[in-house]
């Protein structure tokens, strides 16, 4: 059973809590329940990514939740599925401007070659990869970022999806 915090997050995301907890559907079906549940699943993926990053840095002195500037989900076609607008705000774009944008459009071409080669590798299990990269801002300039991708295989498929977190780094 999900805890109080998770239920609050799911409810905030618009999930039908009664259906999640009991399997009973209200007499009026929610308009986009599948999208809402997918959104909630991605939020859980982001939390899993945070946990895995914390485990990777457990040897350092600071084991608190890593500070990030933005996150998004990248689908199997390397298109950004923006969840909160954080990536747009971080890069200075208007809200909704990056919905469906290709990752290759945002990462500096010299850096994208490395990112793409990692994304195209065959994986047996979920994996986390990190990069130092440059992302394109709304004014066309590039800012240095730390990019961390949680690569998750889609069940019963050869495809993967990626939870992505970004943090501005010093030049």
Question: Could you give the CA distance from residue 91 to residue 55 in angstroms, rounded to a whole number?
Answer: 28
Q: What is the pLDDT of residue 111?
A: 93
CA atoms within 13 A on the CB side of 126: 12
The secondary element (H helix, E strand) that includes residue 160 is strand 160-168
Q: How far apart are CA 75 and CA 102, in angstroms?
A: 10
Instruction: Give the side-chain half-sphere CA count within 13 A for 137.
Output: 11
Q: What is the Cα–Cα distance from 89 to 81, expressed in whole angstroms? A: 15
pLDDT for position 36: 45
> Do the strands 160-168 and 70-74 form a parallel or antiparallel pair, or are they unpaired?
antiparallel
Identify the CA nearest to 119 among candidates 108, 106, 109, 104.
104
Among positive and negative, which fits the CA dihedral 14, 20, 21, 27?
Answer: positive
pLDDT profile of the chain (171 residues), mean per 10: 78 76 52 46 66 62 64 86 81 90 93 86 72 93 90 73 85 65
Show the tokens assigned to 67: 């500070």
pLDDT at 35: 46
The model's pTM: 0.61
């Amino acid at each position: 059973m999900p805890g109080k915090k998770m239920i609050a997050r799911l409810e905030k995301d618009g999930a039908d809590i009664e259906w999640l907890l009991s399997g009973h559907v209200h007499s009026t079906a929610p308009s986009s329940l599948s999208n809402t549940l997918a959104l909630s699943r991605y939020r859980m993926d982001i939390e899993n990514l945070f946990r895995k990053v914390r485990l990777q840095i457990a040897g350092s002195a600071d084991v608190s939740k890593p500070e990030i500037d933005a996150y998004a989900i990248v689908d199997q076609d390397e298109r950004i599925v923006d969840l909160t607008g954080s990536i747009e705000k971080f890069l200075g774009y208007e809200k909704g401007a990056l919905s469906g944008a290709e990752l290759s459009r945002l990462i500096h071409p010299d850096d994208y070659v490395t990112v793409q080669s990692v994304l195209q590798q065959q994986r047996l299990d979920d994996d986390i990869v990190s990069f130092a990269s440059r992302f394109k801002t709304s004014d066309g300039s590039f800012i240095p970022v730390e990019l961390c991708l949680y690569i998750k295989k889609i069940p019963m498929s050869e495809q993967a999806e990626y939870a992505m977190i970004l943090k501005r780094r010093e030049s």
